[in-house]
Amino acid sequence: MTALLASAKQAVLEEILVPARIVPVLTIDRAEDGVPLARALVAGGVKVLEVTFRTEAATAAAKAIIAEVPDAIVGIGTVLNGDDLRRARDLGARFAVSPGATPELLDAAAANDLPLLPGVATASELMQAQARGFNLLKFFPAEQAGGIPMLRALAGPFPNTRFCPTGGVNAANVAAWLAEPNVVAVGGSWLCPASDIKAANWEVITGRCIDAMKTLRKR
């Protein structure tokens, strides 16, 4: 069976990311935290979630969220290779996110129907992704790799590329990032820091989401 075309997968990703605006990056250490964390985010109006493959609990947590929180749209992050991509698809994720864009991963994504948002930080990485049909990319690590000035510089030679900046995005700079014309959404961990997850501060997380979404609506 032939995999979906890159353009079709990018269109699916765009449909998920554009209305989301903010995609929380979740690092879940205890599988049982997944469902209450996802419910807290959804209650705050944040429905598209990236569960990172960084912990042993990640797979079980993502599976539980997919099964028990139907309003959440679950993606898998920290996808590093083709095996990770297949694991993400098999557990029912709607999309995948990677910190970088190796040729091996991009080729694996071409053979897999799961839409991938590959990470880039330089013009050369962007060109490698673009050569394989990726025009919607994660800019990572966004603040550390040059922030908004870097993104504006990339917009010159790459006017058709759009980004989901992630890394160093926070309550203070999220509106500025989202105001950039080539930004479709942002990712980040600031809505649900590890300390709040550890302490099961679900209401605090919901409140932070509500505030973030209110700030964005005002603009």
> Which residues are catalytic, by number?
50, 138
Q: What whole-number distance in Å separates Cα of residue 106 and Cα of residue 129? A: 7
Q: What whole-number distance in Å separates Cα of residue 98 and Cα of residue 84? A: 10
Tell me the per-residue interface mask from 168 to 197 with ligand 3PG, x by CB under 6 A, - otherwise: xx-----------------xxxx-------
Chain-centre distance of CA 120, in angstroms?
13
Stretch that binds ligand 3PG, among 55-63, 153-161, 163-171, 202-210 (CB under 6 A): 163-171
Q: Does 166 bind ligand 3PG (CB under 6 A)?
A: yes
Q: Considering the complex, state which of residue 79 and residue 109 has its C-beta at the smaller distance from ligand 3PG.
A: 79
Q: Compute the least distance from the CB of residue 109 to ligand 3PG, in Å.
A: 18
Element (H, E) at 45: none
Q: Which residues pair with 83 in a beta bridge?
A: none
- Per-position DSSP letters for 168-207, written without gaps between them: S--TTTHHHHHTSTTB--EEESTTS-HHHHHTT-HHHHHH
Q: Does 24 bind ligand 3PG (CB under 6 A)?
A: no
CA trace torsion 60, 64, 66, 70 (10° rounding): -170
Q: Which of residues 115, 147, 165, 167 is near ligand 3PG by CB under 6 A?
A: 167
| Contacting ligand 3PG within 123-162 (CB under 6 A) | 140
Q: Considering the complex, state which of residue 112 and residue 189 has its C-beta at the smaller distance from ligand 3PG.
A: 189
User: Residue numbers of the site for ligand 3PG (CB under 6 A)?
Assistant: 25, 140, 166-169, 187-190
